[in-house]
Structure 1
Amino acid sequence: MLMCYSLCFLWILLLKTGGCNSSTTNNGGGADIMLDIAKMSPLGDPEEILAALRQVAKAVHRCGIKEYPNLKRVFLTNKTVTCNDGTSAGYYIRKAFGSSKWIIFLEGGWFCFDQTSCRERWLNMKSYMTSRMWPEVKKGKGILSWDPEENPYYFYSNMVYIPYCSSDSWTGSIKNPKDSFSFMGSLIIEEVIKDLIPQGLVIASKLILAGSSAGGTGVLMNLDRVSDLMARLAPSVKVRGLADSGWFLDNEQYEPVPCVKAHSCAPTEGIRRGIDLWQGQVPEDCRRQYRDEPWRCYFGYRMYPTLRTPVYIVQYLFDEAQITANNVGPPVKKEQWRFIHEVGNEMKKTLQNVSAVFAPACLSHILLTKSEWQKTAVNGVTLAQSIYCWERGSDEELQCPLVRQRLKKISKAVRKSSGNVAGKVEMPLGDDPVGTKAAKRLKNKKRRRRKKNKRRRRRKNKGKRGKRSLGKNSKRLCKHHLIDSCAWPQCNFSCPKLRNPFTDEEMDFIDLLMQFGLDVSSIANALGMDMETLQSMDHDVLMQMLTQQT
């Protein structure tokens, strides 16, 4: 309690010295605290004070204050860019004054692909096609939460949430007359960024374009375009992507059905029809690779090798949306579980060459905006830890497939021109090709700056361990190629609980094995024990033994 009082005293001191200005907002009684960095200088190093304020936020939370500022609704300046029904598109924003990191999040919500499916969507999912029902404020969850316990690494970031109202996987570019639907998802993203530039995005250090489900697909489809836009409007800002549950397979359905309803239509057929309806914007590098079938680019494993901008993939191996699109139905038969098992294997294969990926063996959908997002782990590393380590990495540590390919060509050309075939050319593992003297000088300058900042942090943290630190072995924990090795749905202890579709009771891993058709005696034989011992064994212990066997 004394700690709480001490930190709150620091907060009050800042208010009294003019370092903070309180401005009342219409978010239910909360207030935004605007920090004037210049007025904080007499108190000491502004960076150290900001670090202390972050600790204040955490400590005040523990002291019992649970009110956090909400995201506030803002409509686009450009009124010609709209939702499906012609109403104004927009976004929700919560500023974190003093933070130079921005997260722009794309909401998910499937899509429609022709007039019939869009009319049905209008009847059943109208909130995903209009802004008329948007509330004035919205509460952030998961990676968008202001709660440092729920969101330990990103709670003090500038948050922007873009509601999904274009039904086009964020790729549409057509404005239609009032009697038909418009599809302008790609243009909405562009206009949001333009509106954010004068609000502080222009001086940001990093922009993370994130999204879940259709929003995750939208990240993959728009990431390079956003990076190019930022290179024109704010060239010093680094752009990164974070795609959650948007990595779909263009596989065969379990039970093929006519393509009428969006949720039961085969993914390939729905996208093939939709890309024409939406006038979908496909990145040029991918379009060149699939000239006759540009709709293939909507599937992550086909798009990924063509990307130029670093992206982190979050994907359940047994994604519920994928299984729904494959028309599996409630999985209660042995054949259905076998198909789901095959889907997981195929998903795992497509993710092997992804440099930054988090793929737990769970039967679920969407993780980033769930409160348990920072508790789910693969190989002892949580998603929150892995993303934080990855996005803080230097350009030399991040890798992008298309750039790696181009760097190899540069390396080959350098060796050939130098005539030193036997000589080894040191190749960077960066996202930006290094082929000019100016680029090399910039690279060396950045390296010196990192070393200087590292020494400064060591001096500042000498004798104490920061709460946001990943620990003494942070480099060892900083892994970002995390794919579960176990082969069955829900074999990961940290998976969200699964429920029986008929009884609504929680199902554990052993229940799932029974659904696969495995009898108790075969499990006992595989583990080399008698039936009585197996049946009396704790399910968690048994699960651990089985997952080690797979």
Structure 2
Amino acid sequence: MAISTFSSLLRYRKWAKSNWLVASLGLLLIVFSLSFFLDLTSDSVPFVDHNPPIASPSDLVKLKLSSKAKERGAFCLDGSLPGYHFSKGSGSGTKSWLIHLEGGSWCNTIASCSARAMTRLGSSKYFEHEVSFQGVLSSDPSQNPDFFNWNRVKVRYCDGASFAGRPEAEFKNETRLFFRGQLIWEAIIDELLSMGMSNAKQGILTGCSAGGLASLIHCDYFRDHLPKDAFVKCVSDGGFFLNVPDVLGNPTMRSFYRDVVKLQGLDKSLDQKCVARTEPSKCMFPQEFVNNIRTPLFLLNAAYDYWQIQHVLVPASADLDKSWAKCRLNIKECDDEQMKVLHGNV
């Protein structure tokens, strides 16, 4: 259901500005159908599937470490080479490309980035050698009728800054961490261009959670590096993080993003029109820069994003008396007053 809805939205080649309002209203009808973009490593609370599908061999796609990364100085946090999984298109899909950016939160301190560098979210040493392509990445036409034969790519996330960190920030680093998310992004895009994406007729850039934010940050870059006559769109799944205070009135998420931007030097990777008018960390919030994106864009977010409830609106630091303990973990446990707070009606 969600895949067909997604496909119908992307099927239109050109949208008038009035159509965006229609798309926004349509969003409310599908916000609870997020499973079409399966990203089991997103920064959301882990989803437990008690009846997981058994992947067929055709859906297992091998890891490829970037051949251009070393010469570009593009490294994961620990200095290992970044990588991606690539399934080659066929038939009518040979000139169509779908790029999916993996999610997995961010690191905002030397300590948290050092810990991350010892996991698959900071080092390719821990990447799976094969991953299952399902949902819009699947090669099964019954599961993925519109994109099954496209060139499909899953880019692994190992920088901790939504593919936007800059090496200039490394002088602050005494533990030999590499802040090179922007270079990873550029190196892998260059590699895919050399593999045939430079002749693309259609292109979709998408991502989940932190990868969904990355798809917004890099949307116009993606558009500008594909042929001018190609139909290109960006889809952010769960990447619209809110710039709002927590229940105690503290700017928890804004402070966190400020630390990420300062530590990893993101200011040059963020929307420059936004950076010119406000504090760079605010430009991590899509509400501050989404109107500057030139490429057709579709935003997909849950009406109740439980990651944002637990980490933005009601972080543990804002619930010292545990009055939100049940509500923040399960919205069905929220009382009327708590729901008013979540709705912003206080």
- Does TM, scored on the shorter chain, surpass 0.5? yes
Map of 1:438 onto structure 2: none
Selected match of 2:65 from 66, 75, 81 = 75
How many Å separate the matches in 2 of 1:254 and 1:142?
A: 36
Q: Does the 8 Å CA contact 1:225/1:283 hold for their aligned counterparts?
A: no
Q: Does the 8 Å CA contact 2:63/2:83 hold for their aligned counterparts?
A: yes
How many Å separate the matches in 2 of 1:324 and 1:104?
A: 29
Query: If the length of structure 1 is used for normalisation, what is the TM-score?
Result: 0.45
1:157 shift after superposition:
1.2
Selected match of 2:259 from 265, 269, 273 = 273
How many Å separate the matches in 1 of 2:134 and 2:145?
A: 12
Structure 1 counterpart of 2:198, one-letter code: V
Map of 1:309 onto structure 2: 295
Structure 2 counterpart of 1:339, one-letter code: V
- Larger RCO (CA within 8 A; separation ≥ 6): 2
Map of 2:330 onto structure 1: none
Structure 1 counterpart of 2:294, one-letter code: R
Structure 1 counterpart of 2:271, one-letter code: P
Selected match of 1:191 from 184, 187, 190 = 187
How many Å separate the matches in 2 of 1:285 and 1:238?
A: 25
How many Å separate the matches in 2 of 1:96 and 1:86?
A: 31
**What fraction of aligned residue pairs are identical, expressed as a percent?**
28
The 1:285/1:137 distance shift into structure 2, 3 A limit, reads same
Selected match of 1:146 from 139, 147, 172 = 139
Structure 2 counterparts to residues 40-79 of structure 1, below 5 A: 67-78=57-68, 79=70
Structure 1's unaligned 5+ residue stretches are 1-64, 258-264, 347-550
Query: If the length of structure 2 is used for normalisation, what is the TM-score?
Result: 0.71
Please give the secondary structure, in 2, of the residue aligned with 1:243.
strand
Measured against aligned partners, the alpha-carbon deviations of 1:345-382 in whole angstroms (never above 9, x if no partner) come to: 89xxxxxxxxxxxxxxxxxxxxxxxxxxxxxxxxxxxx
How many Å separate the matches in 1 of 2:209 and 2:125?
A: 23
How many Å separate the matches in 1 of 2:66 and 2:325?
A: 40
Map of 1:181 onto structure 2: 177
How many Å separate the matches in 1 of 2:340 and 2:134?
A: 34
Q: Does the 8 Å CA contact 1:170/1:214 hold for their aligned counterparts?
A: no
1:236 shift after superposition:
3.9
1:114 shift after superposition:
1.5
Map of 2:276 onto structure 1: 288
How many Å separate the matches in 2 of 1:171 and 1:217?
A: 10
Map of 2:101 onto structure 1: 106
Please give the secondary structure, in 2, of the residue aligned with 1:132.
helix
Q: Does the 8 Å CA contact 1:86/1:178 hold for their aligned counterparts?
A: no
Structure 2 counterparts to residues 413-452 of structure 1, below 5 A: none
Map of 2:215 onto structure 1: 219
How many Å separate the matches in 2 of 1:289 and 1:147?
A: 47
How many Å separate the matches in 2 of 1:329 and 1:221?
A: 34
**Number of residue pairs the alignment of both structures matches:** 266
The 1:178/1:106 distance shift into structure 2, 3 A limit, reads farther
1:194 shift after superposition:
0.8
Structure 2 counterparts to residues 196-275 of structure 1, below 5 A: 196-230=192-226, 234-255=227-248, 266-275=252-261
Map of 2:113 onto structure 1: 118
How many Å separate the matches in 2 of 1:188 and 1:120?
A: 20
How many Å separate the matches in 1 of 2:141 and 2:271?
A: 36
The 1:121/1:266 distance shift into structure 2, 3 A limit, reads farther
Looking at CA atoms only, which structure, 1 or 2, has the larger radius of gyration? 1
Selected match of 1:320 from 306, 311, 318 = 306
Q: Does the 8 Å CA contact 1:104/1:210 hold for their aligned counterparts?
A: yes
Q: Does the 8 Å CA contact 1:72/1:93 hold for their aligned counterparts?
A: yes
Measured against aligned partners, the alpha-carbon deviations of 1:201-225 in whole angstroms (never above 9, x if no partner) come to: 1211011110000001001111112
